[in-house]
Amino acid sequence: MKRTITLEIAGTKFRLVVDSDEAHLRQLAATVNQRIEQLGDRAARTATPAQLLALAALGLADDLVTAEQRLKQVEETTRRAVSHAIERIDRQLAIE
């Protein structure tokens, strides 16, 4: 069911019509606002809200790409470990 909510991001209020979980959207907005706060007072004084949002978006996108790369490395390491374990089991079974 669609409803209207208002989120404040970078000091600007956004009125949205959504059918997703409001609490989740508020959590996402808080994450963006936290990222903007991390940019510091100087950025907040000199940058427009659009510039602040762009910087926050770039930082969050960088976090996502880094997390995806780490996930890929963990998956590859896991595949190799499982493959080696299977090979050792197969060798052991062939000996018995």
Residue 45 confidence (pLDDT): 81
Residue 40 confidence (pLDDT): 83
Helix/strand/coil for 76:
helix
CA 73 to CA 39: how far, in whole Å? 30
CB 4 within 8 A of CB 16: yes
Enter the pTM of the model: 0.74
State the SS3 of 36-66: HHHCCHHHHHHCCHHHHHHHHHHHHHHHHHH
Per-residue pLDDT tens over the stretch 19-77: 999 999 999 999 999 999 988 877 778 888 889 899 999 999 999 999 999 999 999 99
